[in-house]
Amino acid sequence: MSRMKMEQTFESLGNEGKKAFIAYIMAGDGGLSNLKHQMLSLEAAGASVIELGIPFSDPVADGPVIQAAGRRALAEGVTLRGILAELARIKDEISIPVVLMTYANPVLRLGAAPFAELASKAGVSGVIMPDVPLEEAEEFSGPLTAYDIAMIRFITLSSSKARIREVMEGAEGFIYAVTVRGTTGARDGFDESLYDHLESISKMSDVPVCAGFGISTHDQAEEVGSHCDGVIVGSRIVELMQENDIDGIKALIPESTDVAINASN
């Protein structure tokens, strides 16, 4: 049921004419004992999917807000194995899909096959690994596929048409469309060419396309989401979660979506 849960969520949203809101938080920021409360708060706020970051000492794709959250989690002694154990304990209380965002090194330390097994026991629907290129993904995607967990692929603004077609072939879960050049973090706005890009790849893709990086306001989420299947919000949600401002998170979600944002920004 792992990947199917996410597929059913996107199908249901599409049938209702809604867009996905994927909300990112860093697992263990505030301690693992607070993870259940944080995830239930995101679900109650209207998130359709939760993207759960795994703390890592060298997070090359993350901006300063998420880097700081990762450092706080590491200072709490949070590990990938500990996160998966906590997810397994609370998974029956979380009704929306959960996607992990991790770098390769924590998975390699645990082992790709044991990671996939533990992720399945934790109810994980998908895994995002921004430092693993498509050509090297089989080491991780093979074990995940055995447990019906999707390995989410990226398309960037610099991806060629040939590369986009290559990424889309066999894509699972959803396509993560990166909206900016650089790391995660809030931006003042987006170039108009982004919207043409999102519409183009959405027409080509057999799976939903969700846009992330740099989205930090209600208006940005609404505008970007209108050109694809959903949005992912990270840095701003991490800040609001640290302030325990759940109303602020609710205010990010466009009224036309009523869904969650993937917050890896």
Give the bridge partners for 101, in sequence order. Answer: 53, 128
From 53, 67, 139, select the one nearest 102 (Cα to Cα).
53
How far apart CA 84 and CA 264 sit, in angstroms, is 19
Could you tell me what percent of the chain has a pLDDT over 70?
92
Q: Token pair for residue 259?
A: 């869904």
Tokens of 250: 């609710």
**Is pLDDT at 187 greater than 70 in this prediction?**
no
pLDDT of residue 179: 87
Around Cβ 126, how many Cβ atoms within 10 Å?
26
Query: What integer pLDDT is reported at residue 255 of this predicted model?
Result: 72
Mean pLDDT of 40-54: 97
Indicate which residues carry an active-site annotation: 51, 62
Can you list the domains of the chain with their CATH numbers? Answer: 19-252 (3.20.20.70)
Regarding pTM above 0.95, the answer is no
20-26 vs 150-155, strand pairing mode: unpaired
pLDDT digit string, tens, across residues 81-130: 999 999 999 999 999 999 999 999 999 999 999 999 999 999 999 999 99
Summarised one tens digit per residue, pLDDT across range 3-17 is: 999 999 999 999 999
Output the six-digit token pair for 19. Answer: 């867009």
* Ranges of H-type helices in the chain: 2-15, 35-45, 64-75, 80-90, 104-110, 112-121, 138-146, 161-168, 192-204, 218-225, 235-242, 246-252
Q: What's the pLDDT tens digit per position in 25-38?
A: 999 999 999 999 99
SS3 at position 203:
helix
Average pLDDT of the chain, as a whole number: 91
Residue type at position 63: G
What's the pLDDT tens digit per position in 213-255? 889 999 999 999 999 999 999 999 999 999 999 999 999 998 7
